[in-house]
Structure 1
Amino acid sequence: MSVLLETSLGDLVIDLEVDACPKTCQNFLKLCKVYYYNLNAFFNVSKDFLAQSGDPTATGTGGESIWSLIASQQGKQEPRYFSPEFIPHLKHKAKGTVSMAVAPSVEGQGEGGCGSQFFVTLADEIDYLDGKHAVFGHVVEGLDTLDKLNDIFVDQEGRPLKDVRIRHVEILDDPFEDPLGLVVPESIPTRPPDNSTRIAEDEDPLATLPEEEAEAERRKQAARASALTLEMVGDLPFANVRPPENVLFVCKLNPATRDEDLELIFSRFGSIMSCQVIRDKKTGDSLQYAFIEFDKREDAEQAYFKMQNVLIDERRIWVDFSQSVARLNGGWSNNPKMGPRPARGGRGHGGGGFGGVDDLEPTRRYREGYGADGGRYGMVFDVPDDRHSKRRSQSKERMVRRDLSRERRRRSRSPQPRDRGRDGVRDNRGRRRSHSRDGRSRERYERDRRR
């Protein structure tokens, strides 16, 4: 009576001792029948000693017998383990001996015994396991698979760094009847029962991609890191932001082309939400490119195909889809005439906060002139308006007045040259003094001096 274990390292054919260990073999076969061992990991591998599996949790503390499993499915109580069958002539002599792991009895948790965990020996003459664990089979095919399992790299706890799993179990012969209440699942498990973070059993950690694919992957990772950096400094609302599909970028414009002219030309393709020629922040001169936002993506696509290399104001323009995401947070410039557009939904159009998140606000390190909503910012090149010019002129006028007032106060406090007249000394303000410094009159002062 045999069972085929298809592992990630190769196949193992196990011949069972059904006559000597009927209960142990029945438990093992029925667990195989309900796919209990499928995708189980070998969680304990010791070189030249043993390889242990059969625990769905891959911790060494899980697993139960088939009778306990059936009872738990029916909501009944059944002992987790059954008594081991120790057969004197079945010993751990040869490599490939299959034995059930016997759990010790724990006070307060019932008696120990055999559940679902089993192990395969990886060396000969391991006689100190005799009488401690119950032998019930031997590996008759797949000794080379055991050699691979013996040479695998493990951590300090004996867990392989790269998962070794039982992919599938095939019962070659089963002489036992099914226990009452046994239900075979309709489908084979496709996900491992444990949450492993190890190298996957079908993953090659040393595999390298072709140079072109590796370069593409490096660029993708670099772009992802750059996008995350731009999100942190506030230039992007969120790292995986996507450029709008209804906005066109038009360049090579004539400096004389105005917003309304461009909007009139492109409006024949559909409704335009906004059209603006970007201008220099200081001079107001056209930078010869513009952004045009359509209401529908189909209209933008039609304008893209129809307006390529079209002559406008004696200049052949170039049209492409915009890659800028500034529109997700505000206008193309902080032109006060445009004003903030209402949110149109989506994560990038949030009304409060920043980037659609209520408890965030944008950085103000590189941008000034934020809108009143607090979550929008403009382009580097702003369009000056009369209100700002008037405000600057008023500010300069106040500064001139303040400087004149300071100068007058300074002069009033500083000493002036004294102008002596025919009748005495003038004061600092040019007025004639009729008294001496101690308050006496001029005549009395002369009289006292002659005396």
Structure 2
Amino acid sequence: MSVLLETSLGDIVIDLEVDACPITCRNFLKLCKIYYYNLNAFFNVSKDFLAQTGDPTATGTGGQCVNAIINPKAPRYFVPELVPNLKHVQRGTVSMAVAPGIDGKFTGGSASQFFITLGNNIEYLDGKHAVFGHVVEGFDTLDKLNEVYTDSEGRPIKDVRIRHVVILDDPFTDPEGLVVPNEEPNKIPDDPNLVRIAEDEELFDDLPEEEAERQRRKAAAAASALTLEMVGDLPFANVRPPENVLFVCKLNSVTRDEDLELIFSRFGKIMSCQVIRDKKTGDSLQYAFIEFDKRDDAEQAYFKMQNVLIDDRRIWVDFSQSVARLNTHWSNDVRINRTHRKRDTFAGREDLVATRRYRASERDNEAGAYDLVFDERELEREHKDHMRSRSISPRRRSPSPSRDRYRDRDRNRDRDRDRNRRDA
């Protein structure tokens, strides 16, 4: 008399000792018939010891015998059949768990929980739990079950469940009142919050080295982005650079904004084109950012303008990796509306407008265009410091009569000295 357990790790075929343990085998077979064990979890797995299941609550405290299911007033447990010559000698021995009695001894009875031994010669269990069957097929499944990762309480980290039970042979008649459900259950009976990793998910993905390295770098980048968000360098961790902005470098120092804009405008509408300059000197740093209206225009310019000769320099074009434009709190860009000849604020920062961190370019002075160069108030302070170092007040003083008189005296004295030298 056999039963097939279809588990998430493989199939297990159990031969039952129906002659030596008729009460236990009858209870087990009838529970299988009403799908009582379907979707039950192996909630207690100990390496080289045992794997326990048969509790719908997956806590080790639930379960009831078939008589209690038919008649709720019937006892939850039945008297276990402890046969002396059925011992836990071989791996794959199937035993009905015996709940401890009030006195602490294993005299409480059996209900639905059972276990399969994963090691040989476990004499400790003899006389304490009721052996009623042996595994005859599926030892490779037991090997997999023996190697699962478990938590501190013995529950597998990745769920291991009985998916389906097939009764190969049942010699017992059904008890009166036994009702077989029309369909098998499709919902796990225990608490879903206890599930760590679902049985259809992979605990460790066996990925190629390149893919594994890519995922490690992605995780490291995500962690770094989160750190930068926490310290305030990024507006939010999952920010991405704009896809319509190009970074152009290796420029000639004489290349101007309007030159680049004219060259790149053939690919589409340009929202802004800025050669980055030194704040104090105004010299070009030989790189620029070009913002297109559309992403497709930026892509076309990227492919067409790579290594193109501009002002005797072969430029390098790439997509911008900067996210400064997405965070207007730190942006110092000057936004210019060339259509209406109107200068807007510096990305909404009125403090930059107040300090006038710009100067009118000679070419576009009438148009109202500005280049981001330096702070006029800072120049004024530097001028005052320079004048103070020469002990000259920055303000022009009115002429002093006494000072003019002494100056005329010195001039007349020098003239008389020169005349005397010529006469001599």
TM-score normalised by length of structure 1: 0.59
Alignment RMSD (CA, Å): 4.9
Match of 2:5, SS state, is strand
Unmatched runs of 5 consecutive residues or more in structure 1: 72-76, 107-111, 343-369, 406-451
Distance in 1 between the 2:150 and 2:330 partners? Answer: 58
Q: 1:252 to 1:391 in 2, by over 3 A?
A: closer
Matching residue of 1:440: none
Match of 2:301 among 291, 300, 303: 303
Distance in 2 between the 1:16 and 1:194 partners? Answer: 34
Matching residue of 1:82: 76
Matching residue of 2:87: 93
CA contact (8 A) 1:101 1:133 kept: yes
Q: 1:251 to 1:79 in 2, by over 3 A?
A: farther
Distance in 1 between the 2:306 and 2:152 partners? Answer: 66
Match of 2:240 among 232, 239, 242: 242
What's the CA shift for 1:13? 1.2
CA contact (8 A) 1:310 1:317 kept: yes
Matching residue of 2:52: 52
| Cα-to-partner distance string for 1:145-184 (whole Å, 9 max, x where unaligned) | 6577668887765x27775834644414264669437252
What's the CA shift for 1:52? 1.6
Please state if 1:184 is matched with 2:190. no
Match of 2:297, SS state, is helix
Please state if 1:393 is matched with 2:393. no
CA contact (8 A) 1:92 1:135 kept: yes
Match of 2:113, SS state, is strand
| Cα-to-partner distance string for 1:188-233 (whole Å, 9 max, x where unaligned) | 87x995635589898687x987665565455445444443443344
Q: Which amino acid aligns with 2:160?
A: R
CA contact (8 A) 2:159 2:195 kept: no
Distance in 2 between the 1:315 and 1:79 partners? Answer: 94
Matching residue of 1:294: 292
What's the CA shift for 1:293? 1.5
What's the CA shift for 1:18? 5.7
Match of 1:173 among 168, 182, 185: 168
What's the CA shift for 1:66? 7.0
Matching residue of 1:339: 345
Q: Any residues of structure 2 matched to 1:214-293 within 5 Å, and which?
A: 215-216=213-214, 218-293=216-291
Q: Which amino acid aligns with 1:384?
A: V
Distance in 2 between the 1:318 and 1:127 partners? Answer: 76
CA contact (8 A) 1:101 1:119 kept: yes
| Cα-to-partner distance string for 1:385-436 (whole Å, 9 max, x where unaligned) | 4xx224541575389779989xxxxxxxxxxxxxxxxxxxxxxxxxxxxxxx
Unmatched runs of 5 consecutive residues or more in structure 2: 103-107, 336-343, 358-370, 393-424
- Identical columns (%): 54
CA contact (8 A) 1:15 1:137 kept: yes
Q: 1:289 to 1:164 in 2, by over 3 A?
A: closer
What's the CA shift for 1:136? 3.9
What's the CA shift for 1:59? 3.5
TM-score normalised by length of structure 2: 0.62
CA contact (8 A) 1:255 1:288 kept: yes
What's the CA shift for 1:85? 4.5
CA contact (8 A) 1:17 1:25 kept: no
CA contact (8 A) 1:250 1:291 kept: yes
* Aligned length in residues: 352
